[in-house]
């Protein structure tokens, strides 16, 4: 077996911008299925007294939670990994039928320097799948793009009344250390 | 085991709704709730199977001062089994999940469901940390639930044991945007 190349550690400063940016956008509820690249935002959301963090057993739960939150007048966002997008497909019909605003943050696997081939089938159709179900995709590939793209996706969701996903590229996230 | 009439049971329960917000799972529970009388604070699902309890959770977290009733079927809830764990951990004290259990998938031809074959959702809810999980077999049980559902000491799970009769369908509105906007308006919220 050939081990992955070594490359400089990714700039992870953007991870600390996620929750603060969401809060500035008025988001009070964060639903999530954990991913390593969301770990900072998940920890901060759980520690923040003004944020309700909801741990989901599958990503489609988070889609329905975001819809329910909007029904009740609060803004929610969902954090997931690209593999979880496949779990959401039919639940996204709730979003399109009722025209709920939606903000999903998707960390990518299976698209750049991926070690685990099982991540590739879903990772390579993540954006298409979201698009097929009527979710607009915004993308960040560089650390300095995350803030602007998140603000754009958030405004489009909550002011523009759209279903939006911010795709956080695997190159932005960096290589996963498989052998510790 | 005694069997409740689903229409009578739902109507009796909703007579005690007070200010409660109501979410219904697709299929017969939506028709039962509609048959009991349409209401601006009802949100009827016509799809998104497995999602009713999670819509209820999001609503309960955003409206902590209001009781949220989710009425759904055993088949719909079985598709969202993980939701028991999610609710049990989130612990919304104002959420009441009510499953109308006829032990069948009624909408698709009355195929037997898992709840008639040994799967016990009352036990699942208990194991997942609901503060109360009861099987309701008669009018007295409904009366007790009407009192407890407003006490804010949930999450509460209640399972109404009903028969497999299929009363005439009373169809709720199926324009999702209309239902959403009407619901939000009942809470004093703008459409966007």
Measured between beta carbons, the chain A residues lying within 8 angstroms of B49 are 90
Look at residue B132 and tell me if it is in a domain.
Answer: yes
pLDDT (0 to 100) of residue A176? 79
Domain boundaries, given as residue ranges, for chain A: 13-173
> Is some CB atom of chain A closer than 8 A to the CB atom of B51?
yes
Look at residue B192 and tell me if it is in a domain.
Answer: no
> Is some CB atom of chain B closer than 8 A to the CB atom of A69?
yes
> Is some CB atom of chain B closer than 8 A to the CB atom of A73?
yes
- Per the structure, the count of domains in chain B is 1
Q: Tell me the two tokens of residue A158.
A: 């909550």
pLDDT (0 to 100) of residue B7? 97
- Decide: B171 and B146 in contact? Cβ < 8 Å: no
- Decide: B171 and B31 in contact? Cβ < 8 Å: yes
pLDDT (tens digit, 9 = 90+) per residue, B11-59? 999 999 999 999 999 999 999 999 999 999 999 999 999 999 999 999 9
CB contact under 8 A, A61 and B80: yes
Q: Could you please report the per-residue DSSP string of B134-181?
A: EEE-SHHHHHHHHHHTTSS---EEEEEEB-S--PPP-PPP--HHHHHH
> Is some CB atom of chain A closer than 8 A to the CB atom of B177?
yes
pLDDT (0 to 100) of residue B5? 96
The CATH number of the domain holding residue B100 is 3.40.50.970
Q: Could you please report the per-residue DSSP string of B52-117?
A: HHHHHHHHHHH-TTS-EEEEEEHHHHHHTTHHHHHHHHH--TTEEEEEEE-SEEGGGT-EE-GGGT
Give the Cα separation of A128 and A112 in Å (integer). 17
Give the closest of A55, A76, A90 to B58, CB-based.
Answer: A76
pLDDT (0 to 100) of residue A7? 59
> Å from B149 to nearest chain A CA?
19
Question: Which domain range does residue B13 map to?
Answer: 6-186
**Structure pTM?**
0.96
Give the Cα separation of A132 and B85 in Å (integer). 30
CB contact under 8 A, A64 and B23: no
Please say whether the dihedral angle defined by the alpha carbons of residues A68, B121, B20 and B62, taken in this order, is positive or negative.
Answer: negative
For testing contact with chain B, the best of A98, A104, A160 (most B CBs within 10 A): A98
Measured between beta carbons, the chain A residues lying within 8 angstroms of B86 are 54-57, 61
pLDDT (tens digit, 9 = 90+) per residue, B62-110? 999 999 999 999 999 999 999 999 999 999 999 999 999 999 999 999 9
> Is some CB atom of chain A closer than 8 A to the CB atom of B25?
no
Low-confidence ranges of chain A (pLDDT < 50): none
Measured between beta carbons, the chain B residues lying within 8 angstroms of A71 are 43, 55, 58-59, 62, 180, 183-184
Give the Cα separation of A32 and A22 in Å (integer). 14
Q: Which fold has domain A13-173?
A: Rossmann fold (3.40.50)
Look at residue B161 and tell me if it is in a domain.
Answer: yes
pLDDT (0 to 100) of residue A5? 59
Instruction: Return the axis-axis angle of helices A59-71 and B52-62, rounded to nearest 10°.
Output: 50
Give the closest of B48, B59, B180 to A91, CB-based.
Answer: B48
- Decide: B169 and B15 in contact? Cβ < 8 Å: no
Q: Give every CB contact of residue B74 below 8 A, 6+ residues apart in sequence.
A: B99, B100, B101, B102, B103, B104, B113, B114, B115, B121
> Is some CB atom of chain A closer than 8 A to the CB atom of B83?
yes
Give the closest of B50, B58, B179 to A68, CB-based.
Answer: B58
For the cut 70, the answer to whether the pLDDT of residue B2 exceeds it is: no
CB contact under 8 A, A57 and B48: no
Dihedrals phi, psi of A139, to nearest 5 degrees: -135, 140
- What does R_g of chain B's alpha carbons equal in angstroms? 15
The distance from CA A63 to its chain's CA centroid, rounded to whole angstroms, is: 12
CB contact under 8 A, A68 and B62: yes
């Amino acid at each position: 077996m050939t081990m992955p190349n070594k490359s400089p550690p990714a700039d992870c400063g953007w991870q600390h911008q996620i929750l603060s940016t969401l809060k500035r956008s008025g988001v009070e509820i964060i639903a999530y299925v954990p991913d390593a690249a969301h770990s900072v935002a998940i920890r901060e959301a759980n520690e923040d007294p003004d944020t309700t963090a909801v741990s989901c057993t599958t990503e489609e739960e988070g889609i329905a939670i975001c819809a329910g939150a909007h029904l009740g007048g609060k803004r929610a966002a969902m954090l997931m990994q690209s593999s979880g997008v496949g779990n959401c497909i039919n639940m996204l019909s709730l979003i399109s039928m009722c025209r709920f605003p939606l903000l999903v943050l998707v960390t990518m696997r299976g698209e750049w320097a991926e070690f685990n081939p099982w991540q590739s089938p879903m990772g390579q159709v993540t954006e298409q799948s979201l698009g097929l179900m009527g979710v607009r995709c915004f993308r960040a590939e560089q650390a300095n793009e995350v803030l602007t793209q998140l603000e754009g996706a958030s405004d489009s969701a909550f002011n523009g009344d759209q279903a939006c996903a911010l795709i956080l590229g695997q190159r932005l996230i960096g290589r996963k250390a498989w052998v510790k | 085991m005694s069997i409740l009439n689903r229409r009578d049971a739902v109507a009796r329960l909703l007579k005690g709704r007070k200010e409660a917000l109501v979410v219904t799972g697709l299929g017969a529970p939506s028709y039962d709730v509609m048959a009991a009388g349409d209401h601006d604070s009802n949100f009827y699902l016509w799809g998104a199977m497995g999602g009713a309890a999670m819509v209820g959770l999001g609503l309960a977290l955003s409206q902590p001062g209001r009781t949220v009733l989710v009425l759904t079927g055993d088949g719909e809830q079985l598709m969202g089994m993980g939701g028991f764990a999610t609710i049990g951990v989130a612990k919304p004290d104002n959420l009441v999940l009510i499953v109308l259990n006829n032990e069948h998938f009624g909408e698709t031809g009355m195929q037997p469901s898992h709840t008639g074959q040994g799967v016990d959702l009352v036990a699942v809810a208990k194991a997942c940390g609901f503060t109360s999980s009861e099987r309701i077999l008669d009018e007295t049980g409904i009366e007790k639930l009407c009192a407890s559902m407003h006490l804010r000491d949930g999450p509460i799970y209640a399972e109404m044991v009903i028969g497999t009769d299929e009363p005439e369908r009373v169809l709720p509105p199926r324009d999702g945007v209309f239902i959403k906007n009407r619901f939000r308006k009942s809470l004093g919220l703008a459409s966007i």
